[in-house]
Structure 1
Amino acid sequence: MTPNYTLSGRYRIVRSLGEGGMANVYLAHDLILDRDVAVKLLRLDLRDDPKTIKRFQREALATTELVHPHIVSLYDIGEENGMQYLVMEYVKGMDLKNYIKENFPLPLQQVIDIMEQILSAVATAHAHNIIHRDLKPQNILIDEQGNAKITDFGIAVALSEHTMTQTNTILGSVHYLSPEQARGSMATKQSDIYSLGIILYEMLTGSVPFKGETAVSIALKHFQNAMPSVREFDADIPQALENVVLQATTKDPRERYATVEDMAADLLTVLASNRAGEKRFVPQDVGNDETKIMPSADIQAAIAANQDGKTQVVAHKSKQPTLQRPAETTESQTDADEEPLPTRSWSKRHPLRRRLLFWGGIILLLVVAVIVGLELSRPQMTTVPKVTGLSQRAATKVLKKHHLTVGTVQHAKSNQVAKNQVIKSTPSVKTRVQERARINLVISNGAKVMSFGNYVNDNYHDVRQTLKSAGFKVKETYSTSSVAAGQIISQDVVAGSRVMPTDTTVTFTVSAGSRYVELKDLTGESKSDILDYAEANDLNVNFKQGYSSEQKAGYSYDQDPDGGGNVRTGSTITVTMSRGSDNNVTTPQNFYVKLTVPYKALSATTAQANDVKIYLYDDTHMIETVYRDIAIMRSTKISLPFQLTGNTKGHYRIVRNGVTIMEKKNITSKSATK
């Protein structure tokens, strides 16, 4: 796909973003909605492959069902000249793999914040019974504000759909693959939790826990080797945080977190002072079944068979009871104990058959006795009752009526379940268990703090429904805009802020549609006249400056777009102002000034992002125009580029939450960071 090619008359290709095994991804511009998008185009050599097409369609279906601020949104699906494509949200930034490489070591609070965003997105997928099955840092994008977004649901599958598992095809990166997936077993929600544990390990240590020259050697380590300790890598990592990694990556899925929400709730408190002395997590024996660790050759055969789609290998250790037969009595002993019979009796005529019947009866009685004994010794079974929504005391009484007892009790935040009521039980409701089994409970601590998403450009009615179901109060105001009617233009809660849903009211400014104005030629105008014209016609102006031998200083000599055409209200017009003739101008000097913008906590209880606006003045920038607008959750380093010619002095201003906190004038190349 070449640049400037317009797909379906709407999406103009800008450049390639990357190539994958199934599809190529391009940056494109939506000519109708005037926004950048990502276009995922099925590779030409695969468009006739029904399996690939089905996987491509599965991604579209899975992504369509999921609306979440930390899941890449799907905008459109189409086909042109036999080429199938998806139009998705464009996330400007990099994937988590590269983000870790460039920023390692990451602050622990940032690790927790990113993981909480990822976990909330996976929780939404699991709530729709969709398992991602290929969670890895390469499928998690980090935008310029540090927000995480999960992408690539190409091998995601609903729990009710077993086709991918029945073909026994191992998909996904082996570095993040759970032991049960490596064996060829069906992927479950616990498989995603295992992958999330490996991702958390990599964020803390900068590398994956298991490495090898082949996929087979790595798969072997996943279910043979113990998980390496993150605290051996960095002793400053709290034990509570390492315990999250250990519980998420236990070999037995039953010992992992029951849900992603449980993992998120545990992770949220790992830096709390009351968990400072926590002991190292040690897996418990959750059952009597023991799974054999297969040798490398068997694993290789299993993986090869899985790749051929022919067989599945799972080995179990079993104990076969043997029945010891009593020693046979000799014929002379038997005859000596018997009473004499008439000479023509049947027993004398058939002594061998008589003995066979006798011992056969003995053996039959022994078999019956063994069967009866086993049946009598078999534990009685019962069904786990529903205890969600009950208090712990009431749940204990209900379990007792079903001959069950309460096991471990954990506490977690919940926006759906009232405080001090049961959120969930493990094993879950309707599960068959032995009588006197222990049922673990999770009790609600009340509403939980969550990271507020960036909903600008999203459909208001969809966002409103999602946020109201999470406990938010939602209001709206309407404004004329260049974007489509119904799209969100702005929000009064800063994206990335940590807020309590039940205590938060968010107001969205929603587009009421747009109108067009005929743009006049602004060249030769003064700055004040241009601003008056822009305000009267609801236009935004971005001023630049440069040298012009045809226009005197202080007046415009170029604009984009050119005058004479129609533009939407709300559009931004770039106008270049003259600094005069460049006849005596020397070679410009280019340099950077590096600064650290300090973060300011806005609340003692919740972390909220700081809104930072940066203004520059040099050869090409004007101090009245915003150079960069960012949201920060911690003190952040920035580099400001300057181009100065002759005796020109630079100028910068940093405004945080509407207050100027840093400003410097008369900047020269001597101010450059060495």
Structure 2
Amino acid sequence: MMERGYLVSGRYEILDTLGEGGMANVYLAEDTILHRQVAVKVLRMDLQHDQATIRRFQREAKATSELSHPNIVSVYDVGSDNGMQYIVMEYIAGDNLKTFIDKHYPLPLPEVIEMMTQVLSAVQLAHSQGIIHRDLKPQNILVTASGQVKIADFGIAVALNDKSVTQTNSLLGSVHYISPEQARGGMATPQSDIYALGIILYELLMGKVPFSGDSAVTIALKHFHEDIPSLRQFNNQIPQALENVVLRATAKDPAQRYQSAAEMAGDLQTCLDPDRVNEPRFVPAVADSNLAETKVLSDLPNEVRDSELNQPEEAEAEHPADAKAPKSTVATKAKRRLPKWAWWTLGGVGLVILVVVLVLILGKKDVTVPDLSGMSVNEAKLTLQDKNLKIGQTDYEHSDQIARDLVIRSDPSDRTSVKSGSTVNLILSSGAKTYTIGDYHDQDYDTVKAKLKRAGFTVKRKNKNSETVAAGQIMKQSVAAKKKVVPKRTTITLTVSQGPALVSLRDLSTYTKQQAQDYAEGVGLKLTFGTSQYSSDFTSGTVMSQSPAAGTSVASGSTVTLILSKGVEPTSSSSSDADSSSEGQQTEETKTFDKTITLEPATPSDESENASGSSKVAVSTFIIYIGDAKHNLSTVYKKIDKVTTAQKVTLSFEVKNDNSATYRVVRDGVDYANETIKP
């Protein structure tokens, strides 16, 4: 027993005891890393040195960890702590199905069907991966507060290809739910689980199991000798179609049961449909009388054997008149009727007829090769023996659908007609083909992505800025190098460099030269200065315009060009100039005109996929400057965001006399158009 507060492997803190079993104890614990409650199953101390028990315990961990399904209790971790074997599982706060039935019986039929459908869905997944539970019972099915069911305790679950699957003369699992073939010590198959599911469905409907007795042997005998008690006899509200599901699932002959949990679920889901109201009761087919056990005379009591061996000849029984006469008289008459040579002749003819009959009976007949896919070699061997066939060579090949060591197909293939006694070769699965992950750091993303996709991987991209890794190259990978994985089951995420981080340019208007230099140094930009210009709007020595424009995103280390103001343009002091200017002002003429320009978004420079897997869309921002009688080139005339397609823009100008106008267009921080025009 573990005490409260004990840390299993330094991570799982024991909080309480949930239960004690014959093989393991189960504790409620706190995962101190993920901060969630878990169930920790620990192999009992007295079994820690029992290698067979340890293997069985490890087999449970392996069987359950391979199954991921909302109706199967999840396994989070497996390990050993100071020699103690443990499994960390999902903690389910709720009752097991046995307790749930006791508390809530009778259950509404739709609720019964819904709960049973969940169980069947989980069992179907296990069977599809070659795992038989072998101990299905309500005590191993948990019910959450929301009504969701989860199958637990794969303690004796065994993969179909496990050599320990046959346990002759031992009853594994609970006897109330054990199939007839298991009770006889035979091999457990998916149909054995389906039999147990039929008993569980019976218990959900009746609140009790169908068979009971004073001992396990008594109950086991009832499973393969007695019919399942009628549900409708005790509750005529149960539809015949629903009872038929129970009857078919619990047929004594596995071949007459549902061949899969999915088939049983499909039948169950329609059992309340109106078109099945008048469905007849399911009656299993009568077993072949030839399969009845043969008597061995040497095993019979002496008096019975003697009486059978001393019965009169059939020929004598068929002639009552002759039977009344003494045996010596009958024999004398027979000898008189047929001479000795005639008896030899008749004996020879009879022998020939017997040989012919034996040849006809025992001669090789045509048989059909059964479907062996998904079976272990043991199962395939038994199935072939039933058809008087035998296993030949076994070869291996990779398969993504069939588990390792199970049959992919046979040669000849199933449904092929062959002679009795023929040999059938098996192609077994060596498991899914694996791929060794490479080290993709500093490699081109597009090249690596194409290579991985050809191999069958799902590739996802994640973008990240980097000062040291060139744009488009891989910085990180989600699956470590040298790891072997199955491509079709693996998603790999590659983190790709976008180059240095982008800087959104601040509006530097009115900044002094020193202030602009301080800003550029702080964000990692370089400055250049163009020719200073006169301006009545900006103080001399301050920034009047910048390229790229304010708001533009540029990479760290980019160069920004600034134009400084020279202040107000000086005027002539001579009177003649003043007069001339005055005269000119009196005669100046104002003209207006328009200019239509076309704005087109930039073509993306990176055609690779973004993180969502879609291609980049061209989106541009345009800033327009106008220089005329009313506008200054240092002032933004118009800003147009999110331009995705070509669009036309009309610019209006106003000039004096024969003066010209100028416009400048900046696209995404880079000069796009610059023109001087006249009316």
- Normalising by structure 2, we get a TM-score of 0.48
RCO higher in structure (CA 8 A, sep ≥6): 1
Q: Could you say which structure has the larger radius of gyration?
A: 2
TM-score between the two structures when normalised by the length of structure 1: 0.48
